[in-house]
Chain A
């Protein structure tokens, strides 16, 4: 399909609806004229969705997506099946990109600072002002122009590199979750300045020394796919996984053994494990082993235990499991000890023989440009000295995310022209002289290279909602206006053409035409691991590991700042779906909190939810305390990403800004920004502030909800089948019944299986459900009252059913069980008979259907639901315009006073059934997928017709691990849970 053609069409349709609601937010009318087609576009079928391949820009990973559009309007984002890394799956942040596109706080058009206010100006005037300031500088060599961006890959990387080279401008590409320490470790060990590629899927044992690879680290969706490949129980001996970290992360919750460690102690433990592994394998069996042996010999068990704060013998146990196709992952804290630990994990991988098999040091993850924090410090220094006259900030928000001690705002005040391209009125834009808004997601061209060899294309698929211009186009215009060498370097008329040229080049070998490339969205595949380059054992042995560890006897607790699992470093803070998505561990929403161990709390004299102020020279953070055992003693943990002072209505004033107390001095070796802050002043405040959570009880209190089975038993029973068809109501009840279900026996019974051994608790399903089913967000005050509206959620229980004391629950000892809870579509549903008006009724395919239009709102059904999956519309929850444009037109938007709940995405079922019927064929198993099943990166959810003997869900129903939640209530649920498999023995 021709781009111009389609875009022209979208211009009319896509913005027709937008104009109605969004025009109030825009500086110019979105739509001047509305023309009907004389001849209807034959590709357009009203009421039928059209999917376009594009790319997610929610984080730096660059997952390929398919964006579902209805009448030209994006309404749902899903993973692209052509993407070899994400394989059609998407995380919560990706699912929330719609709210980024339709965000009510986006900057409507270019702005210029006049005195204290920023006023709208036309693009031409804005660009003229930029080029007037920049052209003399470019003529003088360009050194006084600076660009501050995020790390880049793909066409943007090429453009920026060429721009910097051709003009002499200073370019810094930096992300607050600074992984320069990992690059530095790769440089020292292998002489390569890039991130390795970790092939978790090829390992059979995994020890992560802190990388939250299922949550925030590099490529979470791809790593989740790899992790389930390696770890999920499939009837045979599964992989083992241990996580070593100071604060329980999403990833740590999935560990067979979670090992709390003193921050900075990871290096010691990794060296101890390497020592133990070297002893097991023998020095001669490891290349470079002789060089490493003296270094490692110093890390005996007693010393490792003392420095890392882990129990004696931990090194040997971890070395024991790693012996079998092991892989070690580095920490993710940026501190000097993390560099040491990253090196130590490289060393450990070398000892266990992982390079070339399970990690490829020479195959870069996120190839492209990434500078360390020290480059930012240098830039700020230059700004302070008055050496920068024009600063262009793209994709970054330095005024928010840089450490408080760096005094960025003061340095910025000395720059005569600051240009920000943020689509949001954020902290940096507020200080800018010119705001040149970049398009939102799916509005402009973009691309990425998540792993060397895999290319993802992001094509625009909606007419920009606002008066934006691509940053690439701004740079190109600037270069062209400069003339001479700079102009000559950029023959392409605009960024889209540049990107197209690059992609036709990439696809040269494949024979794909441009249209086909756009349709596919992804090129290339994950290359197989290559033989490892030589390991420089001598260079590693020369590193001073002794100095790296923090003082194990330090009196004041250390603060660990981790990336927010959903808001990242603050980019996602104005997306209400993500703000209302509970933290995967604490299950709190809309805010910040400081996590600490009960012992730490006792020694500091801090009570639960008591407000704490942490202070150092850079600034202070202020948040209530949340006390639990998912934090190592002596550690305070705080998420980045909150505490915006400007950004938008949903972000501003929520939580505290963790960056304020980060150490401003970069690491001397790696130049990274450390996210561990030692020696803070801790000032408990007199007041309390509730940590608003969606969790009632985090222990099961003797109820049989999240169950587990020992590995030996699971292996013994694997392959056997049980026949629990009575569970879903396929077989008659053994009890006499007064009211026989008129639909028995079912001809078709929709059912779902949930594998608790796979679910990682990432909660992508929750956002997918909200997007698909128009589930509203309600805000912090309403969540505090228990009125969150999500139809599906992940219950997080510490330990098994026997646990009944929340204060004693210990994730390291008892393990964490994660259970997706959604409507169980009971055959014998307690909600149905109590509804006085038949709003809740049983449909012939076994679903508990809720007829919104019939509901009068007695709420008896919700009271009587043992799973508590019904949600009531306490108010009319219409979000601010233009967010309603993200509504799925297939699903009724519920009015105030009505009960709602999961329907297994009945609109998708209906569409699938009708499609099969019109094509006069039987339904194919797996053809119909609810939104939660579709997006689940771990493939924990399987949906289908349980009457169909050949269906996957039927097999899962017959799995001996299967059970129904609260089965003894005789509800006969259509959701079968497969018990988590507890890998005892090796790890405990």
Chain B
């Protein structure tokens, strides 16, 4: 694993890395400003829509009976899914010493944090009485009331909040040396901001030692969360008895889907970012190809899950389950299912081609298709299942309202708003880890020689 060829000329100086990364932190260009303005406007629009919903009642959304969960829960699961590959790339691949992660993991981690931040809004937005959201949190109160620990929604509260805390911590700890570098090269407000974030980092051997231990610990801590969080989210459905929800398959199916969508989202972000900030030397086509292969792998897992679900519905004894899947595949709302199949199973088959895997434009396009497909996967599971329950008299449909669609669009704006802020304020590549993959600017030990690596042994800044 340490035998990877560095992504640059052997003679490249560490200073060039610093320049490349710190360059991204300089004064914003018009493109950035335009993106930021659009995002903020979208967030404001969504906030107005939400305020309208809180004031008027949840009836302004399109959800009804029997489809009580619609765009909000679909989008919640979508963003939680997006959040997953961040931790996968940064923590799991770190533990497995996959070096190709170094140039992409910061972006993936930031994406994770922002995606969880976005996802976390939706359980609040969808509440009938959002002003009592804190009743879902176990806090001591004079009424001696606890939340219902049997409810998957309470598990969700724990899973998502734990995930947010851990991924944020992991992200911030990983940033320490780089933020310190930025601190040292800035003045004024930005200096104070970086100073606060860097927690007095000076780069001493002792600090490096603790830093390494903490990073390893958090990586190890975050790894099971990748599995657990989306498993818990899947239990929101699998613990219910709704035909189309009640399935043992859900946890692995959801985790694979989460990694699938997460990797696609990393590609969606990385490809334009790489182009805009001229990071081609660090984020190489080989990195992109690795991500593409992960997308391809998880796509086949997800496709297999689709087949299994249909098979069990067909072979099982539950009439309601069988008919729910007939409805899903061939009913009035089946367009959602077929969008999902085309986007998530058929389109990623293109990635079998090495040429496409290594072509950033193709990857960008495919990643967008996968994102759309994964949103529709959740729509099919959450809402289409609810349309056909056990009681035929209560069959119904669902059409999202403008409020839901505005808030859906606003959630992307919210996410990209944070991301654009991140891109301009924090190093979007790990300076130190990229440097580690370079030949040290010392006497050349010879081509292809193993590079000493380990958490306690890093080059001085």
Seen from chain A, the residues whose Cβ lies within 8 Å of a Cβ on chain B are: 695-703, 705, 739, 782, 785-787, 793, 795, 797, 821, 830, 833-838, 854-860, 862-864, 866-868, 871-876, 895-899, 966, 969
Is the pair B145, A856 in contact by a Cβ cutoff of 8 Å?
Answer: no
Q: Are A821 and B319 touching (Cβ within 8 A)?
A: no
Contact A835 B148, CB 8 Å, known A705-B392, A860-B153, A966-B391: yes
Interface residues in B364-393 by Cβ distance below 8 A to A read: 386, 389-393
Tell me how far the C-beta of B307 lies from the nearest C-beta in chain A, rounded to whole angstroms: 24
Q: Given the complex, which residues of B lie within 8 Å of A703, measured CB to CB?
A: 319-320, 390-392
A874 to B130, CA, bound (A): 13
Q: Of B5-13, B61-69, B297-305, which binds chain A?
A: B61-69
Count how many chain B residues have C-beta atoms less than 8 Å from C-beta atoms of the other chain.
Answer: 49
Query: A868 to B64, Cβ gap below 8 A?
Result: no
Question: Within the complex, which residue of B133, B147, B391 is in contact with A705, where a contact is CB–CB below 8 Å?
Answer: B391
Select one of A699, A854, A860, A875 contacting B392, CB under 8 A. Answer: A699
| A787 close to B129 (CB less than 8 A) | no
Kindly list the 4 A-B residue pairs having the minimum CB-CB distance in the complex, ordered from nearest.
Answer: A857-B128, A897-B128, A874-B59, A696-B395
Contact with A along B207-249 (1 / 0, CB 8 A): 0000000000000000000000000000010011110000000
B126 beta carbon closer than 8 Å to chain A:
yes
**Which residue among A698, A786, A862 has the maximum number of chain B CB atoms within 10 Å of its CB?**
A786
* Contacts known (A856-B129, A857-B129, A859-B128); A795 close to B242, Cβ less than 8 A: no
Task: Determine the distance from Cα of A705 to Cα of B319 in the docked complex, in whole angstroms.
Answer: 13
Q: Which residues in B have their C-beta under 8 angstroms from that of A838?
A: 145-148
Given contacts A834-B151, A897-B128, contact A856 B133 (CB under 8 A): yes
- Interface code B285-322, partner A: CB below 8 Å = 1, 0 otherwise? 00000000000000000000000000000000001100
In the assembly, what is the distance between CA of A962 and CA of B153, in Å?
Answer: 36
Are A859 and B68 in contact, with the CB atoms below 8 A? Answer: yes
Q: Taking the complex as formed, is B350 at the interface, i.e. its CB lies under 8 A from any CB of chain A?
A: no
A–B pairs, 27, beta carbons within 8 Å: A696-B66, A696-B392, A697-B395, A698-B393, A701-B323, A701-B392, A705-B391, A705-B392, A797-B393, A834-B151, A834-B240, A836-B136, A854-B145, A855-B129, A857-B127, A857-B129, A858-B127, A859-B69, A863-B68, A863-B240, A863-B242, A872-B68, A872-B128, A873-B128, A896-B57, A899-B128, A969-B390
- Write the chain A residue with the least CB distance to B241: A830
Number of A-B residue pairs with CB-CB distance less than 8 Å in the complex they form: 167
Task: Assess A696 versus B241: contact at CB under 8 Å? Given A787-B65, A874-B64.
Answer: no
Closest B residue to A841 using CB positions: B148
- Are the CB atoms of B386 and A863 closer together than 8 Å? yes
Inter-chain contact A874/B66, CB cutoff 8 Å: no
Residues of A within 8 A of B150 (CB): 739, 833-834
Residue B157 interfacial (CB < 8 Å): yes
CA distance A782 to B61 in the complex (A): 12
For the complex formed, measure the closest distance between the CB of B184 and the CB atoms of chain A, giving whole angstroms.
Answer: 48
A872 to B147, CA, bound (A): 21
Q: Which chain B residues border A698 with CB–CB below 8 Å?
A: 393
Residue interface mask B42-76, A partner, CB < 8 A = 1: 00000000000000111100111111110000000
CB contacts (< 8 Å) of A966 on chain B: these are: 390-391
Taking A696-B396, A868-B394, A897-B57 as contacts, is the C-beta distance between A856 and B136 under 8 angstroms? yes
Residue of A whose beta carbon sits closest to that of B392: A697
Question: In terms of DSSP, what is the predominant structure of the interface of chain A?
Answer: loop
Flag B141-178 by CB within 8 Å of A: 1 or 0 each.
00001111011111001000000000000000000000
Is B132 interfacial (CB 8 A cutoff)?
yes
Task: Indicate if the CB atoms of B391 and A867 lie closer than 8 Å.
Answer: yes
Checking A837, A876, A898 against B147 with a beta-carbon cut-off of 8 angstroms, the contacting residue is A837
- What's the Cα separation between A836 and B239 when bound, in Å? 13
Judge whether B135 is part of the interface by a CB distance below 8 angstroms: yes
Query: Which B residue sits closest to A834, measured CB to CB?
Result: B151
Asked if A837 and B135 make an inter-chain contact with CB atoms under 8 angstroms apart, the answer reads yes
Beyond the given pairs A860-B240, A864-B241, 9 more chain A to chain B contacts, judged by CB atoms under 8 angstroms and listed by A's residue number, are A696-B392, A739-B150, A821-B391, A835-B148, A838-B148, A859-B63, A862-B68, A874-B64, A897-B58
> Which residues of A sit under 8 angstroms from B56, Cβ to Cβ?
875
Q: Please determine whether B59 and A787 come into contact, CB atoms closer than 8 angstroms.
A: yes
* Given A782-B59, A834-B151, A838-B145, A864:B392 Cβ within 8 A: no
A697, A833, A895: the one within 8 Å of B151 (CB): A833
Beta-carbon contact of A702 and B319 below 8 Å: yes
For residue A831, give the distance in angstroms from its CB to the closest CB of chain B. 10
A898 to B129, CA, bound (A): 7
Complex contact B389–A856 (CB within 8 A)? no
CB-based nearest B residue for A702:
B319
Q: Is the CB of B148 within 8 A of A874?
A: no
Looking at B64, B65, B157, the one whose CB has the most chain A CB atoms below 10 A away is: B65
Closest A-chain residue to B156, C-beta based? A836
Q: Indicate if the CB atoms of A897 and B127 lie closer than 8 Å.
A: yes
A875 and B59 contact, CB distance less than 8 A: yes
Give every chain A residue within 8 A of B135 (Cβ-Cβ): 836-837, 854, 856
Contact of B240 among A697, A830, A872 (CB under 8 A): A830
Asked whether A787 and B390 contact (CB < 8 A) given A873-B57, A875-B56, the answer is: no
For A857, list chain B residues within 8 Å (CB). 58, 127-129
B241 and A969: CB pair below 8 A? yes
Q: Are A836 and B153 in contact (CB under 8 A)?
A: yes
Query: B323 — nearest CB in chain A belongs to which residue?
Result: A701
Q: How far is the CA of A420 from the CA of B391 in the complex (A)?
A: 49
- Give the shortest distance, in Å, between A826 (CB) and chain B (any CB): 11
Whether A896 touches B392, Cβ cut-off 8 Å, given contacts A837-B135, A866-B241, is no
- B136 close to A868 (CB less than 8 A): no
| Contact status B65-A786, CB under 8 Å | yes
CA distance A700 to B390 in the complex (A): 10
Q: With the chains together, A797 CA to B394 CA distance in Å?
A: 12
Known contacts: A837-B148, A859-B68. The answer to whether A866 contacts B386 by CB under 8 A is: no
Q: How far is the CA of A867 from the CA of B127 in the complex (A)?
A: 22
Partner of B128 from A739, A866, A896 at Cβ < 8 Å: A896
What residues on B are CB-neighbors of A797 within 8 Å? 392-393
Given contacts A864-B242, A896-B57, contact A871 B157 (CB under 8 A): no
Given contacts A857-B58, A863-B240, A897-B58, contact A834 B393 (CB under 8 A): no
| A642 CB to nearest chain B CB (Å) | 25
Complex alpha-carbon distance, A637 and B146, angstroms: 57
B128 & A787 in contact (Cβ 8 Å cutoff) = no
In the assembled complex, the Cα of A858 lies from the Cα of B73 at a distance in Å of 10
Instruction: Indicate whether A836 sits within 8 Å of B69 (C-beta atoms), given known contacts A705-B392, A873-B128.
Output: no
Cβ A834 vs Cβ B64 within 8 A: no
In angstroms, how far is the closest chain A Cβ from the Cβ of B375? 20
B390/A866 in contact, CB under 8 A: yes
Cα-based distance from A787 to B126 in the complex (angstroms): 17
Contact yes or no, A835 B151, CB < 8 A? yes
Query: Complex: how many Å from CA A898 to CA B153?
Result: 17
B148's partner among A699, A836, A896 (CB-CB below 8 A) is A836
| A701 surroundings in chain B (CB, below 8 A) | 319, 323, 392
Task: Kindly provide the distance from the CB of A765 to the nearest chain B CB, expressed in whole angstroms.
Answer: 16
Give the residues in chain A near B58, CB-CB below 8 Å: 857, 872, 874, 896-897
Q: How far is the CB of B328 from chain A (nearest CB, A)?
A: 15
**With the chains together, A858 CA to B66 CA distance in Å?**
13
Which residues of chain A come closer than 8 Å to B66, judged between CB atoms?
696, 786, 862-863, 868
What residues of chain B lie closer than 8 Å to A863, measured between beta carbons? 66, 68-69, 240, 242, 386
Interfacial chain B residues near A793, Cβ < 8 Å: 393
Contact present for B126 and A858 (CB under 8 Å): yes
